[in-house]
């Protein structure tokens, strides 16, 4: 059953709110996905604070215009579109969608993205997805900070270790 103008206006308002309140939006195009695939992805996405919503192309274009995002014209895209929004940071959201795209066997493709109300190309979303996670970066920082201290301890420990080895060798020979 077709939607009334009031229902469409409400959807546009909701989409506009999502586009304005979420600093990161990943737009994907898909075809041939099963409900099981969508349900599984939505469950994983929800656990990470991301919502995955299928949207009508014309409504997305109108919502983007109302949200002040210029240049997003998806009316002529032949495939169905979905948007990913949520509380997750840019890298986490991009990584989540990118993994879904890789596992979908060409049924899902990243169409574009919106970062802080600016449209970004697919390459930017893929670069964000390939960044290490926050935990990995923190681990690297801690390792970089502790490496000089470990080296200093080894340098200080060298003469003591040598002295210990000499004493041990002398005690074994007697």
What gap in Å lies between CA 80 and CA 73, rounded to an integer?
Answer: 14
Segment 16-20 mean pLDDT: 88
DSSP state at residue 3: P
Segment 167-173 mean pLDDT: 85
Residue 19 pLDDT class (50, 70, 90 cuts) = confident
What gap in Å lies between CA 65 and CA 72, rounded to an integer?
Answer: 8
pLDDT in tens, 109-146: 888 898 888 889 989 999 988 888 778 888 888 888 88
| pTM more than 0.85 | no
Domains for the chain: give ranges and CATH numbers.
Answer: 5-131 (3.30.70.1730), 132-174 (no CATH)
Pick the range with the lowest mean pLDDT from 2-16, 29-43, 45-59, 154-168. 154-168
């Amino acid at each position: 059953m077709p939607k009334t103008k009031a229902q469409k206006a409400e959807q546009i308002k909701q989409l506009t709110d999502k586009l304005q309140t979420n600093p990161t939006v990943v737009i994907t195009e898909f075809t041939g996905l099963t409900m099981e695939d969508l349900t599984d992805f939505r469950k994983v996405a929800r656990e990470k604070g991301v919502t995955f919503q299928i949207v009508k192309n014309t409504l997305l274009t109108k919502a983007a215009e109302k949200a002040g995002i210029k240049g997003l014209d998806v009316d002529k895209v032949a495939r169905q579109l979905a948007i990913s929004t949520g509380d997750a940071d840019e890298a986490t959201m991009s990584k989540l969608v990118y993994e879904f795209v890789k596992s979908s066997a060409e049924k899902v493709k990243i169409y574009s993205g919106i970062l802080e109300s600016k449209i970004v190309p697919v390459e930017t979303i893929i670069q964000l997805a390939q960044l290490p996670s926050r935990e990995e970066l923190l681990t690297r920082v801690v390792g970089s900070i502790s490496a000089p201290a470990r080296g200093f301890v080894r340098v200080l420990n060298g003469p003591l270790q040598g002295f210990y080895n000499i004493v041990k060798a002398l005690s074994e020979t007697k």
